[in-house]
Chain A
Amino acid sequence: MDATEAAAVLDRARQGDSEAFQALVERHSRSVFRLAYRMTGNEQDAEDVVQESFLRAYRQLGRFESRANFGTWLYRIVSNCSVDLMRSKQARHDQVRGDSLDEAVELPAADVPGPERMAQSAEIERRVQAALRELSPLERAAFTLRHYEGRSIEEISAALNLGTSAAKHSVFRAVKKLRVALAPLRSQES
């Protein structure tokens, strides 16, 4: 689909043409899923985000400015849907807050696995995921956009509807928490 064709499809979708919207869904679903998965770290949650993002996009399509880039606009919706989903999950899990971070980070020195095991990428991955789960939804979203997606602070603030300073500090807080959480791994490395 070239740029002219894409603009025409988008225009038709904005006027309520569901077939045109279908074309947009088919075109962007995979990238939306990829971002949602990185944001949530969970396949089922990512599927929920994909679905909710497109429904939200359909409802808000009338407000989309045709000069803007649809992919960027959609990516903002996905980011916000991810944050909303993580917040609602966090609210549900607050009462039964897991001990994943305790397991992953605050293990007594004797329980810290040896260097051989630590070298295994699966173990590192498990601990990283546990540490990421301990971030607040906003911190995780900001960190994902900065670290995985390579978005600038300006872009993160636009995507998450935050001020630049708030976006920046969300990233800083995430990095601080991750440093603390992953310190045992670093100390084993050094």
Chain B
Amino acid sequence: MSATHYSEDDLTLYYYGEARRRDAIERHLESCSACASVYRDISGTLAMIAPPEAPERGDQYGLEVWQRIRHQLPERPEPWWATFFRRDRLVFAAAAAMLVAAAFVAGRVWPRQPAGVAPSAVLQTASGGPGSIAAGDTRQRILLTSVADHLDRSERVLTDVMNAPDRSDISSAQRWADDLLTTSRLYRQDALDAGEQSVAMVLDDLERNLIEIVNRPSKISAADLEQIRRRIDAAALLFKVRVMSDELRRREDAPDRSTPRTSTRKIS
């Protein structure tokens, strides 16, 4: 039997397989009854302490945790470069650059308007007023078509979301809505510039609902989906989008542009 004994701490580390002189301790325990007794007590005590069985959590637990915390998430400051290179900003920048280039080309190619005529926006110019000219007609036709197409695409996204099953993955609708959101802002601004208040109002309603769709979790809960549906219903958005799209198509096809614009009527 060895003269020196191992401490309780050494034996605890030995139990957990972390002792440095493991072989020496093993040999010592075979020959030293005092240390062997302490070790038996340590190992016997620790053997009694079994891991507690945690209550089971289902497959949806992660989603439940997310629902609990998502409204509490603090704002995290983005790095400057992330802010600068955000996708929507790039899209805006590209759109702005294209508009500038188009305006430059238009100014070079097309005849100037007579002095005294206000540089009205494209929709207004082509709506049959006294300053109506071929170039304005062309630009208005493009804009009417673009906005009508945009409304058709938006209608499809809204319909998809309205008909989505509970707890389904709406990530593709969200990506689509995100793209439409950027375009919608540009068209709304154009509509405002052109004095097309009713078009701008529908686009504004549309944007609010697209934002709601984009900002929800892609694996949407039944409650969130119901909330979106109620918002869309409450705003009669699908109806407004369809009516506005039809109206823009009619104006686009109308041979006589001197007829009063119907888009100024309020859709509510």
Contacts and interface: CB of A to CB of B under 8 A. Distances in A.
B218 A15 contact: no
A175 interface: yes
Task: Choose among A43, A175, A186 the residue with the greatest number of B CB atoms under 10 Å from its CB.
Answer: A175
Contacts of A55: 69, 72-74
Nearest to A34: B54
A23 B16 CA distance: 36
A30 B54 CA distance: 10
Interface string B79-110: 10010000000000000000000000000000
Given A25-B65, A175-B45, A175-B46, 5 more contacts: A26-B65, A26-B66, A29-B66, A58-B69, A185-B48
Interface string A3-44: 000000000000110110110011111100110011001010
B177 to A, nearest CB: 13
A28 B50 CA distance: 24
B65 A186 contact: no
Interface string B10-48: 001100101000000000000000000000011011101
27 contacts: A15-B79, A15-B82, A16-B78, A22-B70, A25-B62, A25-B65, A25-B69, A26-B62, A26-B63, A29-B57, A29-B64, A33-B61, A43-B55, A50-B65, A54-B69, A55-B74, A61-B76, A147-B46, A152-B18, A172-B12, A175-B12, A175-B45, A176-B8, A178-B46, A179-B41, A179-B42, A186-B44
A46 interface: yes
Given A15-B78, A152-B18, A51 B69 contact: yes
Contacts of A54: 65, 69
Contacts of B78: 15-16
Residue with the greatest number of chain B CB neighbours at <10 A, chosen from A15, A21, A25, A33: A25
Contact of A146 (B16, B69, B70): B16
Interface string B189-230: 000000000000000000000000000011100000000000
B9 interface: yes
Contacts of B13: 153, 168
B12 A171 contact: yes
B52 interface: yes
Contacts of B57: 29-30, 33
A129 B50 CA distance: 10
Contact of B49 (A18, A172, A176, A178): A178
A4 B165 CA distance: 30
Interface residues of A, number: 49
Contact of A175 (B42, B55, B82): B42
A178 to B, nearest CB: 6
A169 B218 CA distance: 47
Interface of A: 15-16, 18-19, 21-22, 25-30, 33-34, 37-38, 41, 43, 46, 50-51, 54-55, 58-59, 61-62, 124-125, 128-129, 132, 146-148, 152-153, 168, 171-172, 175-176, 178-179, 182-183, 185-186, 189
Interface of B: 8-9, 12-13, 16, 18, 41-42, 44-46, 48-52, 54-55, 57, 61-66, 68-70, 72-74, 76, 78-79, 82, 217-219
B61 A58 contact: no
Contact of B44 (A21, A58, A189): A189
A4 B152 CA distance: 37
A183 B45 CA distance: 8
A19 B8 CA distance: 50
Contacts of B16: 146-147, 171
Contacts of B18: 152-153
A28 B12 CA distance: 32
A37 B52 contact: yes
B48 A58 contact: no
Nearest to B44: A186
B73 A18 contact: yes
Contacts of B217: 19, 22
A16 B76 contact: yes
